[in-house]
């Protein structure tokens, strides 16, 4: 069986959310993923629940939402989550004990097989790469401790480029579906200064989908990557997403 998974950073509710969300739901209807991992869900605006509800009402897509907030004070503002069309067997989360960051897991039943989907969002400060390395080590220690399922997907915003040490710490048994740049889209669209002259809009790869076990990568690409047709400064987010068609062997 082949299924489609995607990962996408919502940029919380920052900067033109009411306009951006219409682009997101429109492009979701084109993509139609079976599983969608989400970073930077706004807790006050309930952006994850909004996507779940509107996907059902407008697109006829029935998703379960599994959502975990950050820890400590940031739990009031930000969460991450998973929208899935498959039956949920188990959920859980890991506190990195570092900058209020977490990882989460959702065990799904896909055609009678159990698959673990991990979602995470690593520390974002470029100069603090050591914290990301620590978080990656904690994440994969946790994954290996859950060894009763071998088919696994890890996705989310790693805030690290492929050449960074934190990404190199990911075990060789995990294969990334792509390395195409995923951010930034249009910084000035979100109230930030434009990038330096000559800098490509999509210049950094931060968002990934990694797979291991009995999964074949059939196709992959970028998603939520189209600006508004009448407003080139309006994008779904400051990142674009990543999608992959995966086949259970």
Peptide bond into 21 cis (omega under 30): no
Task: Specify whether the CB–CB gap between 86 and 34 falls below 8 A.
Answer: yes
Residue 233: what pLDDT?
Answer: 82
Residue 178: what pLDDT?
Answer: 85
pLDDT above 90 covers what percent of the chain?
A: 81
Domains, in order of start, for the chain: 2-248 (3.60.10.10)
Q: Which residue has the tokens 């059902």?
A: 56
**What are the tens digits of pLDDT across the range 28-51?**
999 999 999 999 999 999 999 999
* Local structure of residue 190 (DSSP, 8 states): G
CA distances from 31 to 27, 48, 176, 215 (A): 6, 17, 20, 20
**What are the tens digits of pLDDT across the range 190-248?**
555 554 454 455 567 899 999 999 999 999 999 999 989 998 888 899 889 999 999 99
pLDDT (mean) for 94-119:
98
Q: Starting at the edge strand that comes first in sequence, how are the strands of the sheet with 207-212 ordered?
A: 88-95, 102-110, 113-121, 152-157, 207-212, 175-176
Q: What is the pTM of this model?
A: 0.94
pLDDT of residue 188 exceeding 80: no
**What are the tens digits of pLDDT across the range 132-179?**
999 999 999 999 999 999 999 999 999 999 999 999 999 999 999 987
């Amino acid at each position: 069986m082949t299924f489609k998974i995607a990962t996408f950073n919502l940029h919380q509710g920052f900067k033109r959310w009411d306009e951006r969300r219409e682009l997101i739901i429109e492009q979701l209807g084109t993509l139609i993923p079976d599983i969608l991992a989400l970073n930077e869900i706004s807790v006050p605006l309930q952006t994850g629940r909004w996507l779940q509800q509107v996907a059902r009402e407008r697109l006829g897509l029935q998703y379960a939402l599994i959502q975990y907030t950050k820890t400590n004070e940031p739990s009031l503002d930000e969460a991450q989550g998973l929208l899935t069309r498959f039956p949920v067997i188990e959920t859980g989360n890991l506190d990195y004990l570092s900058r209020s960051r977490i990882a989460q897991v959702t065990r799904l039943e896909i055609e009678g097989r159990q698959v673990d989907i991990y979602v995470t969002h690593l520390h974002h400060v470029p100069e603090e790469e050591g914290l990301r390395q620590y978080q990656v080590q904690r994440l994969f220690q946790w994954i290996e401790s859950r060894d009763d399922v071998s088919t696994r997907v890890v996705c989310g915003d790693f805030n690290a480029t492929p050449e960074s040490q934190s990404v190199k710490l990911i075990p060789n048994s995990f294969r990334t579906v792509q390395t195409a740049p995923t951010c930034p889209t249009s910084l000035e669209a979100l109230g930030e200064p434009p990038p330096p002259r000559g800098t490509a809009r999509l210049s950094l790869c931060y968002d990934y989908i990694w797979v291991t076990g009995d999964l074949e990568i059939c196709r992959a690409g970028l998603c939520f990557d189209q600006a508004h047709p009448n407003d080139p400064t309006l994008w779904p987010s400051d990142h674009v997403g990543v999608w992959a068609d995966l086949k259970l062997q």
